[in-house]
Structure 1
């Protein structure tokens, strides 16, 4: 069963909460989550802010109980009320029992109605064990409640806790990589591939064969003759008819997975409809060849706390006695977890690069003049699609996802925030999260607040900025 209700944490937020709720003294502690929402039919709550209740403020902290003042709930209501955000009361279970006790039930019955008086919408409670596992439930205004199907954390590892995998307060273990159990979990998850061309088509093929339950594909372009050397499943007939890439690939996936798996979105990723659809997914694969495409993927990942995998390939050349020569044949894989360094922090896209792409689109002549004058530094030409290089990079980015979600590496995943390989040098280099300077990310956990992604151009008509 696919998750109907999800609670998502940024890795940095989750680590902070584990540290606060489990200080090592064996007593319960408390915090408050303030959550944004995602647009669309799937209900996906993303943790925007947290309020850690100080230990000294609690009138009781015991191994099986915690009592804390209502002033912190009032503080949370003040934050949540202007945008109608969701408040979730979180406390620890140091004993390791991932379930709600009768004490928890009685506490919710007293406290949750007061939150509804201050803020409409939906609110809830949650418990966390010392290993970071979280179980949550959401109440309606009549105090009926439903369990959160999936709690997910995007950090160096992508951690998923399924409520139907918890038996007598003990969660099931994680599936082993490359097994049927992994396939069974992927069948419950959704992925998006942005850009379905040289690398993107190969990524989408792998995701479909691995068993993802839903694969969204975003690309406005049509199949051309020049694409046939790099886009999987593309045919001569697709090229002559100018068929949309995403529709062609959706039919290909349907031929071996059935009609309910692939979702084609034949628009630019900067389109509001595309952003809202991507925000419903569990993981993003960015396979574009433009800086503005990567920027949108980066912003969506931050706002909706979705893990992001970005892949790029390039063949730089140089002048060798008047002839062009290959300098290298290389690829790059970046894994971005919300709360860590972004693609912008890593200079995968830059203000100068974004401006150059904009100039090239709207005023090609001016772009060429500035480039000739040295105002815009030349960007390394993206390689003509070479299927062997694309296969290498696309396999690596999907393997990176598997390593993060179903860990199998002998070293820490934290050492592999970026991987760069050179086929010319037969070399591979890795960079850790600490190798990149992380800037303040005001978009983190913003969710569907208007304007969407903080961009005025994406504001829904009639909505004010929040």
Structure 2
């Protein structure tokens, strides 16, 4: 089980950092990262701000060393002190080495004590090479150094730079044993373990993820048995919780210590903080509020999010009565710092309000009916497992494509994928086509109130 520290960069910060650190003159350059922190089962450093050290203000810039003015360290301390943020000093290695040099060690020895005196937090340093790969380390008390196990960027492509990897290795190929080896070091959160979610959970189990969080408050019923994988008749008779049932199935397949069942709604503080530990979130829910919470978690804790949904709209034909209009599915990939599910209209204030009214007024049957699998048709046990499997496979395949690109076109073209089984077609929405609103929660971590929602705070 991986318990190592993560440093998470947004695509925007990583791109700005790379552009500044490699101006093309072959000399080292420097910058400073300000990070919020989340301490769950492991420490996550969440990039929030970037301070660039101007080339002309450096005292010296060479191929293997750099000296820059202390005023920028003071500037970082001032910016970090109010929120007790972590400061990560970053410089380039034009020679391509991801190892910290003796000069780097000496520099850290001089600066880390000053950082700890200025801001009582965990601080560190990092190096970047021209490919964009980053290696980092932290100092827990100003002197004792430990490696950051993983530096990751969840952008259009998802990058993983492990502390024991080297740039000399060829890129990992999708669907290979190398891909499995990567997944064996990652934690996935599956929110909603029902029709689509159980299929997603089955896939991430077989793909070899190190840990799998299963988040769902619901229990099994007989009407679920035709679409929830691994569920049995006895499970339905006893009203067993969905997450406990699936965790036991994962244990049979993979052994102990992989599955972590969380039998509560994602709207609870415990579930949110558990999901915040994940390296990827698969959102397989059927309510707007749950999607909103997943969206907020992804933003606050810089986690790539994949949201999947299916729908079977109907209409009334003048001769044949009610008939199926389409059999459709949708997969949204949300990168931290990119357009959110809110930006894409997956949920809106109006939809959230209507959903709340339906909760307090369960007699509002017509609206509830329209939210089912088959719009306008009352089906207690819809036979939709084939549609669920199609959508779930597209969802997990989208994640694989981000980590180990294999498509002919750039991943930025696939922010949203829609498929129609009735029309036998797929269409895609590019990230650049989606209007993006300012995101105040980006990289905020556990800043109170959690996710900006006062009701989530302990009282």
**Aligned residue for 1:464?**
none
The answer to whether structure 1 residue 203 and structure 2 residue 200 are counterparts is yes
The answer to whether structure 1 residue 215 and structure 2 residue 204 are counterparts is no
**Aligned residue for 2:45?**
45
Which residue, out of 369, 382, 389, partners 2:373?
382
CA distance in 1, matches of 2:170, 2:115: 35
The answer to whether structure 1 residue 25 and structure 2 residue 25 are counterparts is yes
Which residue, out of 241, 244, 251, partners 1:244?
241
8 Å CA contact 2:151, 2:161 repeated in 1: yes
8 Å CA contact 1:328, 1:424 repeated in 2: yes
CA distance in 1, matches of 2:253, 2:41: 27
**Aligned residue for 2:445?**
447
Q: What is the DSSP-based 3-state SS (H/G/I as helix, E as strand, rest coil) of the residue aligned with 2:39?
A: coil
1:35-114 correspondence runs (5 A): 35-114=35-114
CA distance in 2, matches of 1:25, 1:288: 51
Q: What is the DSSP-based 3-state SS (H/G/I as helix, E as strand, rest coil) of the residue aligned with 1:199?
A: helix
CA distance in 1, matches of 2:142, 2:352: 49
CA distance in 2, matches of 1:57, 1:344: 42
**1:122–1:268 distance in 2 versus 1, CA, 3 Å:** same
**Aligned residue for 1:129?**
129
The answer to whether structure 1 residue 416 and structure 2 residue 414 are counterparts is yes
CA distance in 2, matches of 1:315, 1:284: 25
CA distance in 1, matches of 2:373, 2:352: 16
Q: What is the DSSP-based 3-state SS (H/G/I as helix, E as strand, rest coil) of the residue aligned with 2:130?
A: coil
Which residue, out of 220, 230, 234, partners 1:233?
230
Q: What is the DSSP-based 3-state SS (H/G/I as helix, E as strand, rest coil) of the residue aligned with 1:83?
A: coil
CA distance in 2, matches of 1:454, 1:179: 41
CA distance in 2, matches of 1:263, 1:140: 29
Q: TM-score, normalised by structure 2?
A: 0.95
Question: Deviations along 1:117-165, whole A, 9 cap, x unmatched?
Answer: 1111211100011111000010122501001111111011110011111
Q: What is the DSSP-based 3-state SS (H/G/I as helix, E as strand, rest coil) of the residue aligned with 2:164?
A: helix
8 Å CA contact 2:250, 2:259 repeated in 1: yes
**1:47–1:134 distance in 2 versus 1, CA, 3 Å:** same
8 Å CA contact 1:194, 1:217 repeated in 2: yes
1:227-376 correspondence runs (5 A): 227-321=224-318, 323-364=321-362
Q: What is the DSSP-based 3-state SS (H/G/I as helix, E as strand, rest coil) of the residue aligned with 2:174?
A: coil
**Aligned residue for 2:378?**
none
Q: CA RMSD in A?
A: 1.7
CA distance in 1, matches of 2:112, 2:63: 23
**Aligned residue for 1:395?**
393
Per mean C-alpha deviation after superposition, the further-off stretch among 61-70 and 266-275 is 61-70
Q: TM-score, normalised by structure 1?
A: 0.93
8 Å CA contact 1:289, 1:382 repeated in 2: no
Which ranges in structure 1 are unaligned for 5 or more consecutive residues? Answer: 372-376, 462-466
8 Å CA contact 1:319, 1:325 repeated in 2: yes
Q: What is the DSSP-based 3-state SS (H/G/I as helix, E as strand, rest coil) of the residue aligned with 2:14?
A: helix
CA distance in 1, matches of 2:139, 2:383: 51
- Alpha-carbon deviation of 1:81? 1.4
- Alpha-carbon deviation of 1:65? 2.1
The answer to whether structure 1 residue 194 and structure 2 residue 191 are counterparts is yes
8 Å CA contact 1:198, 1:385 repeated in 2: no
Aligned length: 451
Q: What is the DSSP-based 3-state SS (H/G/I as helix, E as strand, rest coil) of the residue aligned with 1:38?
A: strand
Per mean C-alpha deviation after superposition, the further-off stretch among 422-431 and 101-110 is 101-110
8 Å CA contact 2:58, 2:69 repeated in 1: yes
- Alpha-carbon deviation of 1:63? 2.2
Question: Deviations along 1:1-34, whole A, 9 cap, x unmatched?
Answer: 6241111111121111111111222222111111
Q: What is the DSSP-based 3-state SS (H/G/I as helix, E as strand, rest coil) of the residue aligned with 1:165?
A: coil
Q: What is the DSSP-based 3-state SS (H/G/I as helix, E as strand, rest coil) of the residue aligned with 1:164?
A: coil
